Chain A
Amino acid sequence: MENLIALLIAAPLLGAAVLLVGGRRLDAVGHWIGTLLSTVSFVFGLILFVDLLGKGAEHRTLIKHLYSWVPVAGFQADVTFRLDQLSMTFVLLITGVGSLIHLYSVGYMEHDERRRRFFGYLNLFLAAMLLLVLADNYLLLYVGWEGVGLASYLLIGFWQHKPSAATAAKKAFLVNRVGDMGLSIAIMLMFTTFGSFAFGPVLNHAGDASEGKLTAIGLMLLLAACGKSAQVPLQSWLGDAMEGPTPVSALIHAATMVTAGVYLIVRSGAVFNAAPDAQLAVTVVGAVTLLFGAIVGCAKDDIKKALAGSTMSQIGYMILAAGLGPIGYVFAIMHLVTHGFFKAGLFLGAGSVMHGMNDEVDMRKYGGLRTYMPVTFITFGLGYLAIIGFPGLSGFFSKDKIIEAAFAKGGTEGWILGGAALLGAAITAFYMTRVMLMTFFGEKRWQPDENGHEPHPHESPRVMTIPMILLAVGSVCAGGLFSIGDRFLHWLEPITGHSEGNSPLSAAAVTGATMVCLVIGVGIAWAQYGRGPVPVVAPRGSLLTRAARRDLLQDDFNHVVLVRGGEHLTRSLVYVDHTLVDGVVNGTAAGFGGLSGRLRRIQNGFARSYAVSMFGGAALLVAATLLMRAV
């Protein structure tokens, strides 16, 4: 059974290799090869899942040692995989949702001449993400971690003839690299603290290390998580990443990539549990990001960017939950899974809308689409209800638990975090209702483009709608399925641990408050976008709106400080290197042998004769010394 773990990763990896090396011969069938291998991986995952269910809760960890990777004195990195309840959950999400996205892409990318390559990259993405969640040590996890970065780089920049896509891809990789630095340093700290960076030694002995070291490790892991999961202050790449084809956004936001940071923190729970300061930092990052993303989501007219803001915000909830410790771990992962369903569904729905609207993304040019694309409308609508936490749908269960856990942290912190989470719920209801109303309700607002082509909105083909329907089913049912009888809690508890906090508010009060927030959010959105017509040109808006449209000015800050500052720094260094360093070294040498003056004479064409004479001199010196000693 353990061998199946390796095959789970091998299947999409093989797909990537075959599709990328195979060349044009495979153009006709490439997309089906990619989809098939992704599905094969999902089937392997199901088999392993059934196998795990058959074992007792305490024996659900499978280890597969493949080979010794980097053996150096005192340093041992192996290619070893670990499948337990936590990685199993991710495997099913990654391969399940991933396979649906593959299927959808068959239709969505039908007219792209580089479709085979696209599927190669998709498979690479899955393989890297599977490696990330199945690795048994942090260095192997790092390989998957950066592999995900590479795959996202290739996919965000897939249409790289567009300069904006190429820039967005580079930006995503670079911002992620800043996070990766954190992971590198965390691994180095683990090595000097524990002499190892395998999960077993680090997590089982975390309690023996000093709190200072653990806090440092925790903060570095948090930096890593911020990069991959687009959390403040490393969130700026996520909005630009929309330059990639829409299925890529679904993959990045739901099944892979941004969930990696949550995985990392929950997996390293033992470290964080013993480092309260690091935990506090995690919760702060989560709370700030959940509001940041929500506010940005309110101001965007680009449907994909509005959804991107929403992802940032929802991942913020998960990070917040993960920072709460054993109260929150299970719910962080549960929200991650339910979010995987509805966010993938929403993105695929957005892609379906764009598919029918000549790739228009501006929601102000949509309107009334519900009659033109009913399947998209219903599936998107169910995803919408799930994300705002409509009672009974999956987002309701998972988000509610996180808000409850935040209050349960206790003290002022608990009130602040819980309040932020509640406020976030209201804003979520607002911006998602806004998306829904602007896209599917009201009057049609689209017009012919400059070439006179008027969009003819139509429903997408079956190959695209079937994945959307399946994801909608997940969005509706997953939450209830997990929560009734605390199934998900019991499944994950052996790995993450669990504790009930003492919430100052009763569970019913939290749910009630959340419902009030939901109604307020929906109400305001309806008042603004439902009652009257939506203007085709965006109004100027308040200061906050304008700032939110510019991602709360973070890009402007980056541009002025990092890009401009960096350009000045490198330019002046080029000058310094050319004049000062080169000059001083040459000048110093001139002090001994007139090197500088002679270097200048080279321009006169004496170069060769001089060089030869110089070398001759050296040879003479050697000969003379030899002779002197011999005599």
Chain B
Amino acid sequence: MSFPLLTATAALPAIGAVATAAVPAAQRTAAKWLALLVSLATLALAITVLVRFDPDGARYQLTESHAWIKDFGVRYDLGVDGIAVALLALTALLIPFIVLAGWHDADPLETGSKRWRPTQGFFALILAVEAMVIISFEATDVFVFYIFFEVMLIPMYFLIGGFGDRAHEHGEKAASTQRSYAAVKFLLYNLVGGLIMLAAVIGLYVVAGNFSLPEIVQARANGSLHMATSTERWLFLGFFFAFAVKAPLWPLHTWLPNAMQEATAPVAVLITAVVDKVGTFAMLRFCLQLFPEASKWATPAILVLSLISIVYGALLAVGQRDIKRLVAYASISHFGFIIMGIFAMTSQGQSGATLYMVNHGISTAALMLVAGFLISRRGSRLIADYGGVQKVAPLLAGTFLIGGLATLSLPGLAPFVSEFLVLVGTFARYPAIGVIATFGIVLAALYTLVLYQRTMTGPVKPEVSAMPDLRARELVVVAPLIVLLIFLGVYPKPVTDIVNPAVKQTMTDVHKTDPKPSVEAAK
């Protein structure tokens, strides 16, 4: 038997989480270094997966299969396709930056609050989330996926509720109440989604008799498994609802601004750049593959909802006074693009959506982490409390601007490629929706540049005049992200080469072909 690489990639951060939690209370620094090393080792394993993966090979590779609960046909089945590999690599890549950016976020407070902030717990929880996200990307058994999709909520809940920004305009007690509110809101929204999905998972088992994704897809394709139209639609809706909460799609989005606002910046990145991606990934993998006809049936409604997300999220971002809330609404707009790309049912849309997930992860990480560095210096999340930072901290302002330019999809940076693919892929089938979505690019410029102008330009506010520029640790976090944004903007081929074959498969599953150009001779 070959080395179980996929299990190892998920198990390593899981074991690392336990080990980090077990570090004695006094050895805080050791716990941090341990977490960082584990996340780097996980990255090394993820790179191994990336290297071993053959884009033109079998659909699912590096597969592992073991019986688990025989009576139910639940199997511990793992395997990755191109889409999963890309997202697995993204996750493993971002965690070390999240750990490093949050280096001091869980240090015990010197004075004031008596709240105990367990540094060990903070980093252990991050690694635990990483392990669960990775296995969600790997699972080809619907039940195994469901378990980790749900269990992930527990560490996330504690990360949001337990650790927040140091300073708060209404004092520590108010902050703690708001954090709890945000954490519970996050949990309840996702639990409701999860419970509905559970019903659908059980329903799927009743219909199909097992939980194996490849087997069910094959049985449906060769006609040996028949599903009544209404059954398929109900099951689809059950799955989709859970993923739409997680993604999040309008109008199920309202937990995200609260969660991202109250969590520390690295945890906010963990939510939007990593955990939420499981939702959009699962739409591609489970909704489209298991229920192709129902997916097509629901497409018009989903496209309209994603279009609302794009415009609504961007408009709301323009109206925010809190930096982190602004980034959260921007993310809602971006998730609208991802979901639109998935359900446009074109090669460009789906390749673009997958690429979008990767690029959005990197760009949001860059923007949000620098925003976090900024907030930690001044102790306020309010945009109005800043002004003229460019003059005192040019490096911080410069990296913030690049993060912002990535968020507004400036050509030359990675997000442009994916956003344009999604737009063109949608336009090819639904011109009106594609055109309206294009308004999103103007609004994105508006909220990003207004944020930059209000915080970074103008006369230097007295409160920021002594603000230090980026420190070495912070630069180590930001610089590689920026290099990646430029690299993938100029040369996205390495990612598209991995993703394209998987998208082709998905297109076959849903029996869709790309629209033909009207003047064919031109090609």
User: With A160-B458, A185-B435, A599-B185 known to touch, is A618 a contact of B251 (CB < 8 Å)?
Assistant: no
Question: Chain A interface: which of B28-36, B219-227, B446-454?
Answer: B446-454
B450 to chain A: which residues have CB within 8 Å?
Answer: 170
Q: Which residue of B lies closest to A176 (CB)?
A: B445
Q: Does B421 contact A (CB under 8 A)?
A: yes
CB proximity to A under 8 Å, residues B320-370: 320, 346-348, 351-352
Judge whether B423 and A188 touch: CB under 8 Å: yes
Say yes or no for B63: interface residue by CB 8 A criterion.
no
Bound-state Cα–Cα, A537 to B183, Å: 63
Are A71 and B180 in touch, CB under 8 angstroms? no
Q: Is residue A28 contacting chain B, with contact meaning CB distance below 8 A? A: no
Query: Which of B19-27, B163-171, B409-417 lies on the face that meets chain A?
Result: B409-417
* C-alpha spacing A162/B453, complex, angstroms: 11
Q: Beyond A69-B491, A188-B423, A618-B150, is A177–B457 a contact (Cβ under 8 Å)?
A: no
Give the distance to chain A from B278, nearest Cβ to Cβ, in Å: 17
A166 proximity list for chain B (CB < 8 A):
453, 457-458
B424-A181 in contact (CB<8A)? no
Q: Which of A162, A566, A622 has the most CB of B within 10 A?
A: A622
Contact of B192 among A208, A209, A595 (CB under 8 A): A595
Given the interface pairs A146-B410, A621-B195, the reply to whether A615 lies near B438 with Cβ below 8 Å is: no
B154 in contact (CB, < 8 A) = yes
Say yes or no for A157: interface residue by CB 8 A criterion: yes
A323, B438: Cα distance in complex, Å: 26
Q: State the main secondary structure of chain A at its contact with B.
A: helix
CB of A205 within 8 A of CB of B347, answer no
Interface string of B481-492 (1 = CB under 8 A from A): 000000000111
Stretch at the interface among A81-89, A398-406, A488-496, A623-631: A623-631
Q: Which of B132-140, B281-289, B291-299, B515-523 contacts its partner? A: B515-523
B434 within 8 A of A: yes
- In the complex, are the beta carbons of B423 and A629 less than 8 A apart? no
Across the interface, which residues of B come within 8 angstroms of A614, CB to CB?
Answer: 187-188, 191
Give CA–CA (A77, B390) in the complex, Å.
36
Q: Determine whether B4 belongs to the interface, using a CB cutoff of 8 Å to chain A.
A: no
- Residue B87 CB within 8 A of the other chain: no
- Min distance, Cβ A590 to any Cβ of chain B, angstroms: 11
Q: Is the CB–CB distance between B492 and A566 below 8 Å?
A: no
Whether A195 and B315, one on each chain, are in contact in the complex, defined by CB atoms closer than 8 angstroms, is no
Question: Which residues in A have their C-beta under 8 angstroms from that of B188?
Answer: 589, 595, 598-599, 611, 614
B interface bracket (residues with beta carbon within 8 Å of A): 35 or more
Which stretch of A45-53, A517-525, A578-586 is in the interface? A578-586
**A615 vs B151: C-alpha distance when bound (angstroms):** 9
Q: Are B411 and A146 in contact (CB under 8 A)?
A: yes
> Does A174 belong to the interface (CB within 8 Å)?
yes
Within 8 A of A (CB), among B355-394: 388, 390-391
| Chain A residue contacts of B493, Cβ below 8 A | 67-71
Contact A181 B438 (CB under 8 A): yes
Q: How large is the interface on A (under 10, 10 to 19, 20 to 34, 35 or more residues)?
A: 35 or more
Q: Please encode chain B, from 246 to 267, with 1 for each CB lying within 8 Å of some chain A CB and 0 for all others.
A: 0000111110000000000000
Task: Say how far A99's CB is from chain B's closest CB, in angstroms.
Answer: 24
B56 within 8 A of A: no
Q: Is the CB of A191 within 8 A of B428?
A: yes
Chain B residues whose C-beta falls within 8 Å of the C-beta of A29 in the assembled complex: none
**Residues B408-443 near A (CB distance < 8 A):** 410-412, 416-417, 420-421, 423-424, 427-428, 431, 434-435, 438-439, 441-442
Q: What are 22 A-B interface contacts by the 8 Å CB criterion?
A: A69-B492, A71-B500, A72-B496, A73-B351, A75-B424, A161-B458, A163-B459, A165-B457, A185-B434, A193-B522, A195-B523, A201-B523, A208-B522, A573-B312, A585-B254, A602-B184, A607-B183, A608-B161, A611-B157, A611-B188, A626-B69, A630-B71
Q: Given known contacts A607-B161, A629-B72, what 14 new A-B pairs fall within 8 Å (CB)?
A: A72-B421, A146-B411, A185-B438, A191-B424, A193-B519, A195-B519, A202-B522, A574-B316, A602-B181, A603-B177, A608-B180, A611-B183, A615-B191, A618-B194
B interface residues (Cβ-Cβ under 8 A, vs A) = 69, 71-72, 147, 150, 153-154, 157, 161, 177, 180-181, 183-185, 187-188, 191-192, 194-195, 198, 202, 205, 250-254, 312, 315-316, 318-320, 346-348, 351-352, 388, 390-391, 405, 410-412, 416-417, 420-421, 423-424, 427-428, 431, 434-435, 438-439, 441-442, 445-446, 449-450, 453, 456-460, 490-493, 496-497, 500, 503-504, 514-523
- State the A residues within 8 Å of B (CB): 67-75, 139, 142-143, 145-147, 150, 153, 157, 160-163, 165-167, 170, 173-174, 177-178, 180-181, 184-185, 187-189, 191-196, 201-202, 204-205, 208-210, 213, 566, 569-571, 573-574, 577, 581-582, 584-585, 589, 592-593, 595, 598-599, 602-603, 605, 607-608, 610-611, 614-615, 618, 621-622, 625-626, 629-630
- Top 7 nearest A-B pairs (CB, nearest first) are A195-B517, A570-B319, A73-B347, A166-B457, A194-B522, A143-B411, A205-B522
